[in-house]
A and B are shown apart, each in its own frame.
Chain A
Amino acid sequence: MGDNSQPVPVLVCADLRRTFGDRVAVDGVGFHIERGETYGLLGPNGAGKTTSISIIAGLLERDAGSVSVSGQPVTTTTVEAKRAVGLVPQELAIYPDLTAAENLMFFGKLYGIGSNALAQRVDEVLEIVGLIDRRDDRTDEYSGGMKRRLNIGIGLLHSPELLILDEPTVGVDPQSRNAILTSVERLGADGMAVLYTTHYMEEAERLCDRVGIIDEGRIVAEGTRRELVALVGERDRVELAASGDLAAAATALRGLAGVDDATPGDGSIQVVVESASARLAEMLAAAVAAGATVTGVDIYEPDLEAVFLHLTGKALRD
């Protein structure tokens, strides 16, 4: 008898590739997600997150690679494997001229949920996303946050094994954003596998058991927060608010001992440095000598933003 204790990943994708004309959107993306695990794809806009999840959800044809969910291959033409996947797209993919309940009933039928079970499940989902009081209101009367919550609710309707959320908090007010993040935390805790894409470092840090950092269509690093931060070492991220010749100042800073990277931005220079407090005076002197006027200093403990900067030389919001 073999060892059956080895958990089977809910999602396995390997070597995904997709080009649009000459542009390579996804270039060898691969990762897996276990049951009850929340996996974050963290990267700036245009990094290849949405293209990757469109391929994983079977919505977009791929040039190469493979995807399987619960052991079943997924392509644009497979149907049954999609029963295990719930997709929450970035856009608000709901009918504005239908009520919340009607939208859920419609998608519930497409997921193949029986009529009796569906009516009950619709109310359960509306409870989960906090819209039960507005179940019969047309969604074009909803706020942006309410629409986002319904958008998530549709993905939850059939209790999928894998829930894919593509930047679900874009354009959402802080209160709704917090409600969404709390819901996602609960789903992960309940045993659902969650694939979460975001360009908000703090969301990835809060929600994700593991994070894949994606840039220019490739996953440049993957691991738990602790593992990723370790890539940077005991380095801090320093943001110098400055004016003047920022490019020259960044070059000067990169020449200092202990400085890993210095990137000029819009009114600031991002610096990754070992023991920031000990080297701050030296850094300020170098920046000023190179022609910059420093007006403020912020020091951050190592985080995913610093990791991204360290790995790609770019800020997440670039």
Chain B
Amino acid sequence: MRKVFAIGKTSVVRLMRDRLNLFFVFVLPTMLIVVIGVVFGSGITPRLGILSVGDGEFEMEIVEELMAVDVFETTLLTDRGEVVQAVERGELELGVVIPEAFDGTIAAGVAAEIEYLARPSGSGFEVQAIVQGIIDDQAARIRAGRFLVEEGLAPDLAAALAVVDAASVGVAEVEVELDSTSPMATVGAFDLGAAQNLVLFMFVTSLAASAALILSRKLGVSKRMLSTPTSATTVVAGETLGRFLVALTQGLFIAVVAALAFGVDWGYLPAALAVIVAFAAVGTGAAMLIGSTFSNDEQAGGIGTFLGLGLGALGGCMVPLEIFSPTMRQVAHVTPHAWALDAFSELIREDAGFGDILNELAVLVGFATVLILLAAWRFRRSITA
């Protein structure tokens, strides 16, 4: 084992000494996480704009309640064009347009329509769910008041509302949990984006590291290792360990940065860690196979980038698997990326545990085993045949 660790440690030291590798392992993922996090992330406070031009009781009630919500920043605007522009520019996640004569419309017994403005992507729909809850509360109160007026139990809406308010005191509140058939509705937009980044970068970086193995063979160092009392199995295990440690370090780094900087919740941590470990092994196997198959590091770099990005795109790292067609979603599962993302998705959205992601873990371990065995066979042949 001492020799395995010696080879593995030397691999890591060499990879970390290359500034380009450091850039790809740590700097670039961090930059992308920050950029994506700022644009879509849950690390920033969503912004709500309210167009309110009246000063009626009902309108003020809504405005005050919205202003009191602390999970988003609220801005009062007075022009609809201004609201539209701010939403389009991404300065607001959601615009709420309260129509003119809102109170008058309600007093006349007519339905008043509040307009929502949001971009199709982003966290506007989650903000809308909170706003809708407040408006629904007021609507229910008004409907109850109108009922009393219509039944002749109160002379006007104001008196009726007083009765409703008095009657509601002491009534237990019913908490309504908003749920949706949309899988994107209950998680921060960046939670799954972070998982996509993690999977994509771990694989791309692993493949890029295959060049170091080719260089080691080209220099004759790999062959020289076999001239020492060291078996080919030990050499392969050591080289594999080195690449695995780099992939694992990067995976953990991305997970920690995403969690600390953007509050990404990875779900049940031991299970998330198991997915990261399994996927690091997959990336390692792929890197070892490329590193032992190709004899030119530039050729391997090109193929590695193509495979890394291509499989990443097919596997759902660039566009979420959820918006793939059913057929494409099936095709995506020829890649280990899709299985890793499925596992993360279950952990992040469903609060899944180990038992829920055993299938995904088994497939990832299968991918890793096949790739590493193939790579070991190729590597040994490339040196001694």
Q: Does A299 contact B (CB under 8 A)?
A: no
Q: Does A227 contact B (CB under 8 A)?
A: no
> With A59-B383, A61-B385, A106-B10 given, is the CB distance from A94 to B219 under 8 Å?
yes
Q: How far is the CA of A82 from the CA of B234 in the complex (A)?
A: 15
Q: How far is the CA of A169 from the CA of B216 in the complex (A)?
A: 22
> With A59-B384, A95-B14 given, is the CB distance from A109 to B224 under 8 Å?
no
List residues of chain A with CB within 8 A of the CB of B227.
57-59, 82, 85, 87, 89
> With A76-B384, A95-B14 given, is the CB distance from A110 to B230 under 8 Å?
yes
Q: A106 touching B14 by the CB < 8 A rule? A: no
- Tell which of A57, A59, A97 touches B14, judged by Cβ atoms closer than 8 Å: A97
Quick one: which of B334-354 are within 8 Å of A by CB?
none
Interface string of A78-110 (1 = CB under 8 A from B): 011111010101011111111000100011011
Q: How far is the CA of A60 from the CA of B384 in the complex (A)?
A: 5
Q: Does B143 contact A (CB under 8 A)?
A: no
Q: B6 touching A93 by the CB < 8 A rule? A: no
- Tell which of A89, A98, A111 touches B228, judged by Cβ atoms closer than 8 Å: A111
Give A114's nearest chain B residue, CB to CB.
Answer: B2
Number of residue pairs spanning A and B whose beta carbons lie under 8 angstroms apart: 78
Q: Does A154 contact B (CB under 8 A)?
A: yes
List residues of chain B with CB within 8 A of the CB of A57.
227
Distance between B376 CB and nearest chain A CB, rounded to angstroms: 14
Distance between A119 CB and nearest chain B CB, rounded to angstroms: 14
Q: How far is the CA of A79 from the CA of B225 in the complex (A)?
A: 11
List residues of chain B with CB within 8 A of the CB of A98.
10, 13-14
- Tell which of B3, B6, B226, B231 touches A59, judged by Cβ atoms closer than 8 Å: B226
Distance between A87 CB and nearest chain B CB, rounded to angstroms: 4
List residues of chain B with CB within 8 A of the CB of A92.
219-220
List residues of chain B with CB within 8 A of the CB of A89.
220, 223-224, 227
Give B10's nearest chain A residue, CB to CB.
Answer: A106
Q: B228 touching A107 by the CB < 8 A rule? A: yes
Q: Does A2 contact B (CB under 8 A)?
A: no
Q: How far is the CA of A217 from the CA of B220 in the complex (A)?
A: 23
Distance between A86 CB and nearest chain B CB, rounded to angstroms: 8
Distance between A203 CB and nearest chain B CB, rounded to angstroms: 21
> With A58-B227, A59-B227 given, is the CB distance from A94 to B14 under 8 Å?
no
Interface string of B1-36 (1 = CB under 8 A from A): 011001100100110011000000000000000000
List residues of chain A with CB within 8 A of the CB of B220.
89, 91-93
> With A106-B6, A110-B3 given, is the CB distance from A82 to B228 under 8 Å?
yes
List residues of chain A with CB within 8 A of the CB of B81.
none
Task: Write the residues of chain A forming the contact surface with B, with a CB cutoff of 8 angstroms.
Answer: 57-61, 76-77, 79-83, 85, 87, 89, 91-98, 102, 106-107, 109-112, 154
Q: List 15 additional A-B contacts (Cβ < 8 Å) besides A79-B229, A83-B229.
A: A59-B223, A59-B227, A60-B384, A76-B226, A76-B384, A82-B228, A82-B229, A89-B227, A93-B219, A95-B14, A95-B216, A106-B6, A107-B228, A111-B228, A112-B3
23 contacts between A and B (CB under 8 A): A57-B227, A58-B226, A58-B227, A59-B227, A59-B383, A76-B226, A77-B232, A82-B228, A89-B224, A91-B220, A93-B219, A95-B216, A97-B14, A97-B18, A102-B10, A106-B6, A107-B224, A110-B7, A110-B225, A110-B228, A110-B229, A110-B230, A154-B224
